[in-house]
Amino acid sequence: MEIKTAVRQFIAENVLLGIHQTTIEDTTPLVTGGLIDSIGMIGLVSFLETRFKVEFVPREIDVHSLDTLEQIDELIRKKLASQQTGTAGSGQQVG
């Protein structure tokens, strides 16, 4: 699944509002680079939850794990994998 493509498109439409021809690289800092602010983060998290059917827990809402397409991709993959192994959608480790 192309997680990065989906997120890149979401950002182009909702954050950059489609008015700029802008390339977002896999490592472009989204939050610390000023592209997404705190309110934008609410939208991004809610998009990720709906699109990939995952659920975030508070400790995952971190600028260090959601700052680039690469990090988002890694986090979503990890969450999907843990769901498949039955670790519940919350992403919490069992035990």
Partner 1 sequence: MPERERPEPGSGEPEGDLLSDWLRSTAAATPDAPAVIEQDRTGKDRVTSFRELFEQAASLAARFVEHGIQKQDRIALVLSKSTDAIVSVFAALLAGAVYVPIHPQWPKERIEATLADCAARLVIEGESSPPRITDRDTGESLPWGAPDIRSDISGAHLLPRADAGDPALILFTSGSTGRPKGVVLSHRAVSAFVKWTAHEFQIGSTDRIACPSPLSFDLSTFDIFNMALCGATCVLVPEHIVWMPRFLVQFVREAGITCWYSVPSILAGMLEEGRMAQHDYPGLRVILFAGEVFHGPVVARLVAAVPQAVCANLYGPTETNVVTWCRVPRGFDGSQPLPIGQPCPYATVTLDAASGELLAGGNSLMSGYWNRPEDTQRVFVNVAGKRHYRTGDRVSRAADGNYLFLGRLDRQVKRRGFRIELGEIETALAGRGDILEAAAVAVDDGKLGTAIIAFVRARSKGTVSLVEAKAHCARTLPLYMVPDHIVFLDAMPKGSRGKIDYIALSKLAEALDQASLKYGAPNHGDQDRSPAVHR
Residue 12 and residue 69 in contact, taking contact as beta carbons nearer than 8 Å: no
3-state helix, strand, coil in the chain (%, to 5): 50, 0, 50
Q: What are phi and psi of 64, to 5 degrees?
A: -80, -15
> Is position 90 an interface residue for partner 1 (rule: CB under 8 A)?
no
Measured from the CB of residue 37, what is the shortest distance to partner 1 in angstroms?
6
Interacting residues with partner 1 between 7 and 26 (CB under 8 A): 9, 12-14, 16-24
Residue 25 and residue 94 in contact, taking contact as beta carbons nearer than 8 Å: no
> Is position 45 an interface residue for partner 1 (rule: CB under 8 A)?
yes
For residues 94 and 15, what is the distance between their CA atoms, to the nearest angstrom? 36
Which one of 4, 29, 83, 90 is in contact with partner 1 (CB under 8 A)?
29
Which one of 41, 51, 89, 90 is in contact with partner 1 (CB under 8 A)?
41
Binding stretches for partner 1 (CB under 8 A): 9, 12-14, 16-24, 28-29, 31-35, 37-39, 41-42, 45-46, 58-59, 61-63
